[in-house]
Chain A
Protein backbone atom coordinates (compact mmCIF):
# COMPACT_ATOMS: atom_id res chain seq x y z
CA UNK A 1 0.00 0.00 0.00
CA UNK A 2 1.10 3.57 -0.62
CA UNK A 3 1.54 5.36 2.68
CA UNK A 4 0.69 9.06 2.74
CA UNK A 5 2.16 11.39 5.32
CA UNK A 6 1.39 15.05 5.93
CA UNK A 7 3.16 17.84 7.75
CA UNK A 8 2.54 19.60 9.93
CA UNK A 9 -0.20 17.89 11.93
CA UNK A 10 -1.57 21.29 12.87
CA UNK A 11 -0.99 24.79 11.59
CA UNK A 12 -1.85 28.18 13.07
CA UNK A 13 -1.79 31.05 10.60
CA UNK A 14 -2.81 34.69 10.90
CA UNK A 15 -5.62 35.95 8.71
CA UNK A 16 -4.26 37.05 5.36
CA UNK A 17 -1.05 35.08 5.75
CA UNK A 18 0.12 32.06 3.76
CA UNK A 19 -0.52 28.49 4.86
CA UNK A 20 1.55 25.64 3.45
CA UNK A 21 0.75 21.96 3.90
CA UNK A 22 3.05 19.19 2.76
CA UNK A 23 2.12 15.71 1.64
CA UNK A 24 4.50 12.87 0.90
CA UNK A 25 3.77 9.49 -0.65
CA UNK A 26 5.82 6.34 -0.09
CA UNK A 27 5.74 5.63 -3.83
CA UNK A 28 5.62 7.90 -6.83
CA UNK A 29 2.07 8.67 -7.94
CA UNK A 30 3.12 9.93 -11.36
CA UNK A 31 1.33 8.19 -14.20
CA UNK A 32 3.80 7.69 -17.03
CA UNK A 33 0.91 7.31 -19.49
CA UNK A 34 -0.25 10.93 -19.14
CA UNK A 35 2.58 12.47 -17.11
CA UNK A 36 0.12 13.49 -14.40
CA UNK A 37 0.34 12.99 -10.66
CA UNK A 38 -2.64 11.20 -9.16
CA UNK A 39 -2.74 13.32 -6.00
CA UNK A 40 -5.87 15.03 -4.70
CA UNK A 41 -6.53 17.54 -1.92
CA UNK A 42 -9.72 17.81 0.11
CA UNK A 43 -10.96 20.24 2.73
CA UNK A 44 -13.20 19.01 5.51
CA UNK A 45 -15.01 21.18 8.04
CA UNK A 46 -16.65 19.76 11.18
CA UNK A 47 -19.96 18.07 10.45
CA UNK A 48 -19.51 18.37 6.70
CA UNK A 49 -18.36 15.94 4.01
CA UNK A 50 -14.99 16.45 2.36
CA UNK A 51 -14.84 19.02 -0.39
CA UNK A 52 -12.66 18.52 -3.46
CA UNK A 53 -10.11 21.32 -3.84
CA UNK A 54 -7.31 20.14 -6.14
CA UNK A 55 -6.80 17.09 -8.36
CA UNK A 56 -3.98 15.93 -10.61
CA UNK A 57 -1.83 17.63 -7.95
CA UNK A 58 -2.39 21.13 -9.33
CA UNK A 59 -5.75 21.38 -11.09
CA UNK A 60 -8.16 23.51 -9.09
CA UNK A 61 -11.73 22.23 -8.97
CA UNK A 62 -14.35 24.53 -10.45
CA UNK A 63 -15.57 27.08 -7.91
CA UNK A 64 -12.58 26.74 -5.58
CA UNK A 65 -11.04 30.15 -4.78
CA UNK A 66 -7.75 30.84 -6.49
CA UNK A 67 -6.01 31.37 -3.15
CA UNK A 68 -5.82 27.55 -3.07
CA UNK A 69 -3.06 26.03 -5.19
CA UNK A 70 -1.34 22.68 -5.43
CA UNK A 71 2.13 21.78 -6.58
CA UNK A 72 4.65 18.97 -6.58
CA UNK A 73 5.42 15.80 -8.45
CA UNK A 74 6.43 12.22 -7.85
CA UNK A 75 6.33 11.79 -4.08
CA UNK A 76 6.31 15.33 -2.69
CA UNK A 77 3.35 17.69 -2.85
CA UNK A 78 2.22 20.97 -1.36
CA UNK A 79 -1.11 22.68 -0.82
CA UNK A 80 -0.83 26.43 -0.42
CA UNK A 81 -3.45 28.86 0.79
CA UNK A 82 -2.02 32.19 -0.29
CA UNK A 83 -4.05 34.41 2.04
CA UNK A 84 -5.87 32.59 4.82
CA UNK A 85 -9.51 33.49 5.34
CA UNK A 86 -11.62 32.67 8.37
CA UNK A 87 -13.68 30.20 6.32
CA UNK A 88 -10.54 28.19 5.53
CA UNK A 89 -10.39 26.78 9.07
CA UNK A 90 -10.66 23.05 8.41
CA UNK A 91 -8.76 19.79 8.17
CA UNK A 92 -6.98 19.25 4.87
CA UNK A 93 -6.29 15.80 3.47
CA UNK A 94 -4.25 14.59 0.56
CA UNK A 95 -5.19 11.33 -1.16
CA UNK A 96 -3.46 9.25 -3.78
CA UNK A 97 -5.46 7.73 -6.60
CA UNK A 98 -2.47 5.94 -8.13
CA UNK A 99 -3.14 2.48 -6.74
CA UNK A 100 -5.62 0.61 -4.59
CA UNK A 101 -6.18 1.18 -1.74
CA UNK A 102 -6.62 4.88 -2.44
CA UNK A 103 -5.01 6.02 0.77
CA UNK A 104 -5.43 9.36 2.50
CA UNK A 105 -2.90 11.31 4.48
CA UNK A 106 -3.63 11.74 8.20
CA UNK A 107 -4.83 15.30 7.75
CA UNK A 108 -3.57 18.75 8.69
CA UNK A 109 -5.69 20.95 10.91
CA UNK A 110 -5.54 24.63 9.98
CA UNK A 111 -6.68 27.28 12.45
CA UNK A 112 -6.31 30.98 13.04
CA UNK A 113 -3.41 32.36 15.03
Chain B
Protein backbone atom coordinates (compact mmCIF):
# COMPACT_ATOMS: atom_id res chain seq x y z
CA UNK B 1 0.00 0.00 0.00
CA UNK B 2 1.34 3.41 -0.98
CA UNK B 3 1.76 5.76 1.96
CA UNK B 4 2.94 9.35 2.08
CA UNK B 5 3.38 10.97 5.46
CA UNK B 6 4.13 14.67 5.79
CA UNK B 7 5.73 16.15 8.89
CA UNK B 8 7.45 19.30 10.07
CA UNK B 9 4.55 21.72 10.05
CA UNK B 10 3.89 24.15 12.86
CA UNK B 11 3.72 27.78 13.89
CA UNK B 12 6.41 30.11 12.59
CA UNK B 13 6.78 33.87 12.62
CA UNK B 14 6.81 35.91 9.41
CA UNK B 15 10.29 35.85 7.91
CA UNK B 16 11.06 32.52 9.51
CA UNK B 17 11.94 29.14 8.03
CA UNK B 18 10.56 25.64 8.19
CA UNK B 19 11.44 22.34 6.55
CA UNK B 20 8.70 19.88 5.69
CA UNK B 21 9.33 16.21 5.08
CA UNK B 22 7.30 13.63 3.19
CA UNK B 23 8.22 10.03 3.93
CA UNK B 24 7.15 7.51 1.32
CA UNK B 25 6.52 3.78 1.49
CA UNK B 26 4.84 1.09 -0.56
CA UNK B 27 6.47 2.01 -3.87
CA UNK B 28 9.90 2.63 -5.34
CA UNK B 29 10.43 6.23 -4.30
CA UNK B 30 13.52 6.70 -6.45
CA UNK B 31 11.41 6.01 -9.54
CA UNK B 32 8.80 8.62 -8.65
CA UNK B 33 8.31 12.21 -9.65
CA UNK B 34 6.83 14.11 -6.70
CA UNK B 35 4.76 17.25 -6.14
CA UNK B 36 4.08 19.68 -3.33
CA UNK B 37 0.61 21.24 -3.26
CA UNK B 38 -0.97 23.48 -0.62
CA UNK B 39 -4.45 24.45 0.50
CA UNK B 40 -4.74 27.81 2.23
CA UNK B 41 -7.70 28.57 4.53
CA UNK B 42 -10.72 29.61 2.52
CA UNK B 43 -8.85 29.16 -0.76
CA UNK B 44 -8.32 26.49 -3.39
CA UNK B 45 -5.53 24.07 -4.14
CA UNK B 46 -2.27 25.57 -5.30
CA UNK B 47 0.52 23.64 -7.01
CA UNK B 48 3.87 24.63 -5.49
CA UNK B 49 6.40 22.55 -7.34
CA UNK B 50 7.59 19.23 -8.69
CA UNK B 51 10.82 17.26 -8.64
CA UNK B 52 11.62 14.62 -11.22
CA UNK B 53 13.40 11.39 -10.37
CA UNK B 54 17.19 11.54 -10.47
CA UNK B 55 17.28 9.23 -13.49
CA UNK B 56 15.36 11.92 -15.37
CA UNK B 57 17.77 14.61 -14.27
CA UNK B 58 16.12 15.49 -10.96
CA UNK B 59 14.73 18.66 -12.52
CA UNK B 60 12.80 20.90 -10.15
CA UNK B 61 10.10 23.38 -11.15
CA UNK B 62 8.33 25.90 -8.93
CA UNK B 63 5.29 28.12 -8.98
CA UNK B 64 6.14 31.81 -9.17
CA UNK B 65 4.93 32.79 -5.65
CA UNK B 66 7.47 30.48 -3.99
CA UNK B 67 10.26 30.22 -6.56
CA UNK B 68 12.86 32.31 -4.74
CA UNK B 69 11.92 31.24 -1.21
CA UNK B 70 11.14 27.51 -1.29
CA UNK B 71 13.44 24.63 -2.22
CA UNK B 72 12.33 21.11 -3.06
CA UNK B 73 14.78 18.25 -2.64
CA UNK B 74 14.77 14.50 -2.19
CA UNK B 75 16.83 11.84 -0.46
CA UNK B 76 16.15 8.56 -2.20
CA UNK B 77 18.19 6.64 0.40
CA UNK B 78 15.65 7.77 3.00
CA UNK B 79 12.58 7.63 0.74
CA UNK B 80 11.95 11.23 1.70
CA UNK B 81 10.90 14.38 -0.09
CA UNK B 82 11.62 17.79 1.43
CA UNK B 83 10.28 21.31 1.18
CA UNK B 84 12.56 23.96 2.65
CA UNK B 85 10.56 27.15 3.17
CA UNK B 86 12.38 30.42 3.87
CA UNK B 87 11.21 34.02 4.26
CA UNK B 88 7.76 32.80 5.17
CA UNK B 89 4.81 35.14 4.80
CA UNK B 90 1.33 35.16 6.29
CA UNK B 91 0.02 34.07 2.89
CA UNK B 92 2.03 30.83 3.15
CA UNK B 93 -0.31 29.63 5.90
CA UNK B 94 -1.78 26.42 4.53
CA UNK B 95 -1.97 22.66 4.70
CA UNK B 96 0.91 21.32 2.65
CA UNK B 97 0.52 18.05 0.78
CA UNK B 98 3.02 15.90 -1.03
CA UNK B 99 1.79 13.74 -3.88
CA UNK B 100 3.11 11.40 -6.50
CA UNK B 101 3.29 12.78 -10.03
CA UNK B 102 2.43 10.36 -12.77
CA UNK B 103 1.68 11.19 -16.38
CA UNK B 104 -0.95 13.94 -16.18
CA UNK B 105 -2.14 13.17 -12.66
CA UNK B 106 -1.34 12.86 -8.96
CA UNK B 107 -2.58 9.50 -7.79
CA UNK B 108 -1.34 9.29 -4.21
CA UNK B 109 -1.46 12.03 -1.59
CA UNK B 110 -0.35 12.41 1.99
CA UNK B 111 -2.71 13.62 4.70
CA UNK B 112 -0.99 16.99 4.82
CA UNK B 113 0.81 19.06 7.43
CA UNK B 114 -0.36 22.46 8.65
CA UNK B 115 1.92 25.45 8.46
CA UNK B 116 0.80 28.59 10.26
CA UNK B 117 2.71 31.81 9.70
CA UNK B 118 1.82 34.35 12.35
CA UNK B 119 3.38 36.68 14.85
- Residues in chain B near residue A77, CB distance under 8 A: none
- B-side interface size class: 20 to 34
- Say whether B47 faces chain A, with CB atoms less than 8 Å apart: yes
Q: Which secondary structure dominates chain B's binding surface?
A: strand
Least CB distance, A29 to chain B, in whole angstroms? 9
A103 and B112 in contact (CB under 8 A), knowing A50-B97, A56-B104, A97-B104?
no
Least CB distance, A10 to chain B, in whole angstroms? 13
Least CB distance, A41 to chain B, in whole angstroms? 9
A49 and B109 in contact (CB under 8 A), knowing A40-B104, A55-B104, A101-B64?
yes
Q: Check if A104 sits within 8 Å of B104, measured CB to CB.
A: no
A49 and B104 in contact (CB under 8 A), knowing A103-B47, A107-B44?
no
- Say whether B107 faces chain A, with CB atoms less than 8 Å apart: yes
A104 and B45 in contact (CB under 8 A), knowing A49-B110, A49-B111, A50-B97?
yes
Q: Pick the residue among A1, A40, A101, A103 that contacts B105 (CB under 8 A).
A: A40
Q: Check if B61 sits within 8 Å of A97, measured CB to CB.
A: no
Q: How many A-B residue pairs have CB under 8 A?
A: 58
Q: Check if A44 sits within 8 Å of B45, measured CB to CB.
A: yes
What is the 8 Å Cβ interface bit string for chain A, positions 36-58, against chain B (1 contact, 0 not)?
10101010100011111001100
- Residues in chain A near residue B47, CB distance under 8 A: 95, 101-104
A50 and B64 in contact (CB under 8 A), knowing A40-B104, A55-B105?
no
Q: Which residues of A contact B (CB under 8 A)?
A: 1, 36, 38, 40, 42, 44, 48-52, 55-56, 61, 91, 93, 95, 97, 100-107
